[in-house]
Amino acid sequence: MKVAKILLVLIWFFCIYVSTSFSANVTYDHRALVIDGKRRVLVSGSIHYPRSTPEMWPDIIQKSKDGGLDVIETYVFWNLHEPVQGQYNFEGRADLVKFVKTVAAAGLYVHLRIGPYACAEWNYGSGFPLWLHFIPGIQFRTDNKPFEAEMQRFTAKIVDMMKQENLYASQGGPIILSQVENEYGNIDAAYGSAAKSYIKWAASMATSLDTGVPWVMCQQEDAPDPITSGRSCFCCGTLLPARWNFSELLYGFKLFKIGKELMPQLFLLPARKQYHGGTNFGRSAGGPFISTSYDYDAPIDEYGTIRQPKWGHLKDLHKAIKLCEEALTATDPTITSLGPNIEAAVYKTGSACAVFLANNDGTSDANVTFNGNSYDLPAWSVSILPDCRNVVLNTAKISSVSTISSFTTESLKEEIGSSDDSCSGWSWISEPVGISKADSFSKIGLVEQVNTTGDRSDYLWYSISIDLDAGTQAVLHIESLGHALHAFINGKLAGPGKEAFLSPYPTLLKLNATLLENAANGTGNNVKVDIPVTLVAGKNTIDLLSLTVGLKNYGAFFDTAGAGITGPVILKSLTDGNSLDLSSQNWTYQIGLKGEDLGPSSGSSGQWNSQSTLPTNQTLIWYKTNFVAPSGSDPVAINMTGMGKGEAWVNGQSIGRYWPTYASPSDGCTDSCNYRGAYQASKCLKNCGKPSQTLYHVPRSWLQPENNTLVLFEEIGGNPEQITFATKQIASVCSHVSESHPPHVDLWNSDAESGRTVGPVLLLECPYPNQVISSIKFASFGTPHGTCGNFKHGNCSSNKALSVVQKGCIGSSSCRIELSINTFGDPCEGIAKSLAVEASCA
Ligand SMILES: *[C@@H]1O[C@H](CO)[C@@H](O)[C@H](O)[C@H]1NC(C)=O
Ligand SMILES: *[C@@H]1O[C@H](CO)[C@@H](O)[C@H](O)[C@H]1NC(C)=O
Ligand SMILES: *[C@@H]1O[C@H](CO)[C@@H](O)[C@H](O)[C@H]1NC(C)=O
Ligand SMILES: *[C@@H]1O[C@H](CO)[C@@H](O)[C@H](O)[C@H]1NC(C)=O
Ligand SMILES: *[C@@H]1O[C@H](CO)[C@@H](O)[C@H](O)[C@H]1NC(C)=O
Ligand SMILES: *[C@@H]1O[C@H](CO)[C@@H](O)[C@H](O)[C@H]1NC(C)=O
Ligand SMILES: *[C@@H]1O[C@H](CO)[C@@H](O)[C@H](O)[C@H]1NC(C)=O
Ligand SMILES: *[C@@H]1O[C@H](CO)[C@@H](O)[C@H](O)[C@H]1NC(C)=O
Ligand SMILES: *[C@@H]1O[C@H](CO)[C@@H](O)[C@H](O)[C@H]1NC(C)=O
Ligand SMILES: *[C@@H]1O[C@H](CO)[C@@H](O)[C@H](O)[C@H]1NC(C)=O
Ligand SMILES: *[C@@H]1O[C@H](CO)[C@@H](O)[C@H](O)[C@H]1NC(C)=O
């Protein structure tokens, strides 16, 4: 009895120990990362901590671990942590130490990509604080003393925080790697020879911080010793042994070919860039024009739900590659051609042998003979044979379950009596047009916006009055550096109007490289608009509201790209043909909105109006309501269809900029889609002509059951009564397996290493660990067709299928059904049969 108890305690102690303490010695050699003397293949995936909430972290990290990840990598976002120079924020979503500890608690390693330049579509160079821009003499990301001093201070601050908490592997913590700079090699040419000395400085600064684990640079071929590098870096490429062109169906992004010619120095295998993308809350989105969803089509979606079949297929892939670890890290491959477009990459040492068979042909399937055995290789696929004999996985054959997730619409239930006697439940305040704040100022000439607002607000008013002897029809010609603009004449919106408001930006979405680059460069490419206006005799007020929609996040000199109305601004009279250049006149400016100063996020101040009819389709208006949260624990989004553009706050937290009227171009989508063949950005486009985003994630932890406040600032006009909630559920779990699926090694059988092959098996698995399969919606053995949610019986169908599957699956969290005529009978002899199942979990 006593012995058993001690043993239990020991086992418990061992588990805790193993999951929270990490080996101490991380190095690397010419082949791989070496942890405690052993070369490793590690699977790494990216999760950016501020793009979800601390309440979501444990679940997302556990799902990452279940999906086969060993390492969680994240950038560190400087402007999140130091919004004002010397004033730090490490609370809530910015609690980096807590995030690293949460990863450690799950037993995973951390790759801490401090940068501090990140590359993650985050505001202003992916994370630089705007105050840096105002340091005299500063030049970003080059050999510049003021910049280097700040970069060193922040990098050292982060390293010290990690050290104090013993979070480096050298201290028993989870951090096995740190990154300094990021993807500088892509743009360093623009910085001339100073780039070289800057990179040398960055390397020696980083190593001087003495973390006891390796530093890496990414996209930096000439990374100075002892910084490791690789042409193909952890963030963008995948370090794989053979030519490796996956179906983008599964990856949704470009995978880089890795042959021996691109031999990276380390085997750290990113599952993909983003394992969980998440949400750009507040004004954190980089830009211009990136909205709040950073879903990325990642294996774990924006809401923290597993995305199938991608997640499951990657899990199989990670496992298959892990089975090759010994051979992969021991030797270079021998690459031989087995025919046109067919290659074998063989990793063979004394004790281990693994081979990757690749069919690089984008259209034709092939049968190949290797070592006297025959293998079936679908077009554009790789088969993995960890013992050089048995296939454990082919990248084109998906045996993972698929799921259908769906959103359920719920009306926005207003709190009873929350809004006086108004029947709508909404109250509102109009934002004044033009100058309304005491801190406005005047200046001769037009000012650049970023320099003026310091990004404290998206909004900058440019205001001027002119006196005319007589009324006239005119055109107001405005040139601006972007990003967007509303012009008001005598308090009324004159243009450019909802459509032109976006102009010329809709074309950006067509991924026209020249336009994108021009807009991103921000210089020499003024956005020009001509707005027809009616002017009266006497005084006319011209109020121009210029707005930024996320500051530039990428490219050389991103920090100098300006925004706002830099001119010229010219009034051209249509009646007498005269022009009046207003550019060098006396303008009055206001940074931000009156409502922003009043504390819109809390919705508690200001004179909210709720007595008269709710104004809709009105520019510059604040709306507020109290609401009851959707019940249950499913993820929640707000469906902003019906609104124009603005920002929304829930219980004081900004859920970000909304812009459902921003539609994607209507061309470029096709009905048929073939993911095979080389990647192109224009391949398999979806959603043409549709709003780029209608659903805006509200983390559950920001909601309470009742008495929640929603505040909106609407710029261009909308109807808040059309706003609804959407909650996300997984409606069905499906699997469809063919009898002709060749015998293969069961990856998840403990015999996998022994190479014992199994026949075709259908696997069903509930998405959440606390669920069981509650009903079988469809089961057919024979010739079923269709896709998950839409399966149909073929004309050959066993009448036992439903009962067999019900018996084998109901009440279990997962089940396996062998495709065998012994169980199902043979409904059509001589015909290849398959089993298709759709189930619900509860
Ligand atoms: C760490 O590992 C490296 C190479 O594997 C070895 O040379 C070094 O002595 C080890 N350091 C410690 C402190 O064990
Ligand atoms: C694999 O993909 C890369 C990147 O898209 C492409 O450059 C290469 O040509 C492809 N390889 C083959 C064999 O098609
Ligand atoms: C491969 O071989 C199988 C049978 O051995 C055959 O059914 C199939 O058509 C072959 N595929 C190709 C592309 O030759
Ligand atoms: C990009 O768009 C601009 C403006 O519409 C057009 O002039 C240019 O030809 C386009 N470039 C390409 C490569 O399509
Ligand atoms: C944008 O700026 C880069 C340098 O950062 C320059 O190489 C490129 O030519 C510019 N593009 C355009 C369209 O002006
Ligand atoms: C912003 O101001 C700085 C000087 O403080 C100036 O060097 C820079 O050119 C300005 N930026 C823009 C985009 O006008
Ligand atoms: C500009 O206009 C403001 C407000 O009307 C005024 O106070 C200021 O003196 C003017 N400045 C000049 C240089 O005229
Ligand atoms: C909104 O107002 C504009 C003019 O201010 C008008 O053209 C448009 O038709 C209105 N839209 C709706 C839906 O009422
Ligand atoms: C969002 O609301 C619009 C308009 O009510 C509706 O058509 C759409 O289906 C909703 N989207 C979701 C995902 O619920
Ligand atoms: C609702 O929340 C507000 C603060 O947001 C609080 O002042 C008020 O007392 C709450 N009302 C109820 C009924 O809980
Ligand atoms: C069964 O369906 C297939 C096509 O789905 C068709 O070709 C075949 O003729 C059908 N057989 C019978 C017996 O109806």
Q: Is residue 578 part of a domain?
A: yes
Instruction: Judge if 588 and 651 occupy the same domain.
Output: no
Residue 219 lies in a domain: yes
**Whose Cα sits closest to atom 12 in ligand 6?**
562
| 204 Cβ contact list (under 8 Å, min separation 6) | 224
Q: Which helix (H) or strand (E) holds 735?
A: strand 724-738
Tokens of 582: 């207003």
Point out the ligand nearest to the CA of residue 186: 5
Query: How many structural domains does the chain have?
Result: 3
Contacts with 734 (C-beta within 8 Å, 6 or more apart), sequence order: 401, 402, 403, 404, 787, 788, 789, 791, 836, 837, 838, 839
pLDDT at 346 over 50: yes
Closest residue to atom 12 of ligand 7, CA basis: 586
Higher-pLDDT residue of 718, 233 = 718
Question: Are residues 554 and 417 part of one domain?
Answer: no
Residue 40 lies in a domain: yes
Query: Which tens digit of pLDDT belongs to each residue from 585-621?
Result: 999 999 999 999 877 655 555 688 887 789 999 999 9
Helices 194-208, 145-164: inter-axial angle, 10-degree rounding: 20
Q: Report yes or no: 201 and 293 within 8 Å, Cβ to Cβ.
A: no
Q: What is the mean pLDDT of residues 124-135?
A: 92
What share of the chain has pLDDT > 70, as a percent?
Answer: 82
627 and 640 co-located in one domain? yes
- Least confidently predicted of 43-57, 564-578, 598-612, 787-801: 598-612
Closest ligand to the CA of 130: 6
Domain span at residue 645 reads 405-431+597-728
- Greater confidence, 752 or 162? 162
- Asked whether residue 448 falls in the same domain as residue 421, the answer is no
Q: Residue 148 burial by CB count (10 A; 0-12/13-18/19+): exposed, middle or buried?
A: middle
Residue of 435, 439, 442 to mutate, ligand 7, most atoms within 8 A of C-beta:
442
Among 97-101, 290-294, 392-396, name the most confident range: 97-101
* One domain, residues 628 and 678: yes
Position 590 scores a pLDDT of 98
Residue 223 confidence (pLDDT): 56
* 608 C-alpha to ligand 6 centroid (Å): 39
Note whether 425 and 525 are same-domain residues. Answer: no
Query: Which is the closest atom of ligand 2 to the Cα of 358?
Result: 13
Q: pLDDT per residue over 1-46, tens digit each?
A: 344 444 444 444 443 444 456 767 988 776 777 899 998 888 888 8
Domain end marker among 728, 763, 795: 728
Distance 130 CA to ligand 7 centre (A): 29
- State how far the Cα of 123 lies from the Cα of 548, in Å rounded to an integer: 11
420 with 500, same domain: the answer is no
> Which ligand 6 atom minimizes the distance to the CA of 563?
13
The whole-angstrom separation of Cα 818 and Cα 824 is 10
Ligand 8 center to 661 CA (angstroms) = 14
Same-domain check for residues 74 and 174: yes
Closest ligand 6 atom to residue 562 Cα is: 13
Final residue belonging to a domain, choices 298, 331, 361: 298
Question: Are 162 and 22 contacting, i.e. CB atoms less than 8 angstroms apart?
Answer: no
Residue 653 within any structural domain of the chain? yes
Which of 101-115, 221-235, 550-564, 625-639 shows the lowest per-residue confidence on average (mean pLDDT)? 221-235
Binned at pLDDT 50, 70 and 90, residue 162 comes out as: very high
User: What pLDDT, in 10s, does the model give residues 639-677?
Assistant: 999 999 999 999 999 999 998 887 777 777 877 777 777
- Is the domain of 159 the same as that of 61? yes
Rg (CA), the chain: 30
Say yes or no: 129 and 276 in one domain.
yes
| 86-117: b (≥16 Cβ within 10 Å) or e | eeeeeeebbbbebbbbbbbbbbbbbbbbbbbb
Q: Which ligand is nearest to the CA of 214?
A: 1
Q: Is any ligand 8 atom within 6 A of the Cβ of residue 644?
A: no
Q: Is the shortest distance between the CB of 360 and ligand 2 below 6 Å?
A: yes
Residue 508 has a pLDDT of 35
Is 566 within 8 Å of 528 (Cβ atoms)?
Answer: no
Average pLDDT, the chain: 82
pLDDT score, position 307: 87
The number of residues in the chain equals: 842
Cα angle 442, 443, 445; round to 5: 140
Residue 593: in which H helix or E strand, if any?
Answer: none
User: Residues with Cβ < 8 Å from 598, sequence gap 6 or more?
Assistant: 605, 606
pLDDT value, residue 218: 62
Interval 563-573 mean pLDDT: 90
Q: Are residues 515 and 651 in the same domain?
A: no
pLDDT band at 732 (very low <50, low <70, confident <90, very high): very high
Task: Report yes or no on 790 lying in a domain.
Answer: no
Name the phi and psi angles at 584, rounded to 5.
-105, 25
Banded model confidence at residue 697, pLDDT cuts 50, 70, 90: very high
The residues lining ligand 3, judged by C-beta closer than 6 Å to any ligand atom, are: 365-367, 376
709 lines ligand 10 (CB under 6 A): yes
* pLDDT, tens digit (0-9, with 9 covering 90-100), for 389-417: 999 888 777 777 888 888 888 888 777 55
Q: What is the pLDDT of residue 423?
A: 52
Identify the domain boundary among 728, 757, 791.
Answer: 728
765 pLDDT band (50/70/90 cuts)?
confident
Q: For residue 2, give both structure tokens.
A: 């006593």
Which ligand sits nearest to residue 191's alpha carbon?
5
Domain co-membership, 639 together with 516: no
Does residue 671 lie within any of the structural domains?
yes
Residue 510 pLDDT exceeds 90: no
Hey, which of 795, 831, 833, 834 would you mutate to test ligand 11's pocket, going by the most ligand atoms within 8 Å of its Cβ? Answer: 795
Residue by residue, what is the 3-state secondary structure of 644-709? CCEEEEECCEEEEEECCCCECCCCCCCCCCCCCCCCCCCCCCCCCCCECCCEEEECHHHCCCCCEE
To test ligand 9's pocket by mutation, which of 302, 407, 636, 639 has the most ligand atoms within 8 angstroms of CB? 639
> In CATH, what number is assigned to the domain containing residue 467?
2.60.120.260
Element (H, E) at 124: helix 123-127
Among 22, 23, 25, say which to mutate for ligand 1: greatest number of ligand atoms within 8 Å of CB. Answer: 25
617 part of a folded domain: yes
**CATH number of domain containing 696:** 2.60.120
Does the residue 327 lie in any domain? no
Contact by Cβ (8 Å): 95, 136: no
What distance in Å separates the CA atoms of residue 640 and residue 697, rounded to the nearest whole number?
11
- Dihedral (CA of 409, 415, 421, 425) sign: negative
